[in-house]
Amino acid sequence: MKRIALIALVSLIAFGAQAQEELMKYGDFESWVTRTITESKIIGGKTKSMVEVGPNMKYEPKVYKNQGGSIWGTSNIYAHVKGISKTNTSVYKDTHNGGTCIKLRTHVEGVKVLGMVNIYVIAAGSIFTGEMVEPITSSSNPFRYLNLGIPCTRRPKAVKFDYKVQLSDSANVRMTGFSRKKTMATKDYCDAQCYLQKRWEDEDGNIHALRIGTLVHRFTSSVKTWQEGKSFPIHYGDITGESYYRGYMGLLTGDNAIYATNSKGKQVKVTEEGWADAGETPTHIIVKFNSSCGGAYIGSPGNTLWIDNVKLVY
């Protein structure tokens, strides 16, 4: 009897030690918000459809707000610049295992005015925890329209998801629409990111942060068959001295700073001022997937990343 009790106790301890997984809200990508927007006549007046991650519904207003408590924003956007309405679609619904998944794709977006193409830009596909602040009113610094991060006080060990990757043979280029096309010396990759931050806001509405947890994984080769339920660890504390550390895992400061909405409803920079102690409790989490990793208006047209069943592992 003592032996049976001991085995039962060991089994309970082992069971308790097993990792727990939690599907992120709408992270199975089985329901979708559908948007339909008619662009300005001067650029063709076409009616475009876009999807957002959220409940199954149609959304009529041009300016989008996350629906059904969705935690996901996307790079599908509505822009209204100098009286002209324009959309961009770089995030799509696709199929996986009899259901649906999300597809992120980098492409060249052209704008035709009176039938003539006069602006070309690189547009990457991205989804992230947070929301896009629409309408986009300027092409300058597009990242300031991303309200990045959602509240989180837990400490996940990893992010787990299904994925497939197709890297393009095209060159990595910079195309802003207002300067000549430039071929970059660096290679473009798809990536997955997770940052845990401890944030606070000062009396002037500025948001400050310390970095607690870090995950940046770059997909450096094509993966043509679905990889199911792969886990990527989150590293806590200052990781700059670790063998796996790379410069792109560093603090988000300067030109790499992200943006969020402060308590006054304004978009401001979130300045990461240092590395927190590994045992700190976060206030916010950012989970982000991208079809290109080089920054605004930089990428390889054709880069594609499929993602499904996004979970946090505890």
Q: How far is Cα 165 from Cα 224, in angstroms, rounded to an integer?
A: 6
Position 119 scores a pLDDT of 77
CA Rg, the chain, in Å?
21
Position 3 scores a pLDDT of 54
Position 15 scores a pLDDT of 43
Position 142 scores a pLDDT of 87
Q: Which residues are 162's β-sheet partners?
A: 308
Position 290 scores a pLDDT of 98
Position 12 scores a pLDDT of 43
Position 179 scores a pLDDT of 78
Regions in the chain scoring below 70 on pLDDT: 1-17, 113-117
Q: How far is Cα 312 from Cα 232, in angstroms, rounded to an integer?
A: 10
Structure tokens given for 304: 């594609």
Structure tokens given for 211: 């970095």
Position 140 scores a pLDDT of 83
pLDDT digits (tens, 9 = 90+) for 65-124: 999 999 999 999 999 988 889 999 999 999 999 999 999 999 999 877 655 557 789 999
For residue 128, which of 249, 289, 276 has the smallest C-alpha distance? 289
Q: Which fold has domain 22-313?
A: Jelly Rolls (2.60.120)
3-class SS letters over the chain: CHHHHHHHHHHHHHHHHCCCEEECCCCCCCCEEEEEEECCHHHCCCEEEEEEECCCEEECCCCCCCCCCCCEEECCEEEEECCEEEEECCEEEEEECCEEEEEEECEEEEEEECCEEEEEEEECCEEEEEEECCCECCCCCHHHHEEECEECCCCCCEEEEEEEEECCCCCCEECCCCCCCEECCCCCCEEEEEEEEEEEECCCCCEEEEEEEEEEEEECCCEEEEEEEEEEECEECCCCCCCCCCHHHCCCCHHHCEEEECCCCCEEEEEEEEECCCCCCCCEEEEEEECCCCCCCEECCCCEEEEEEEEEEC
Q: How far is Cα 36 from Cα 157, in angstroms, rounded to an integer?
A: 39
Domain ranges of the chain: 22-313
Q: How far is Cα 281 from Cα 154, in angstroms, rounded to an integer?
A: 7
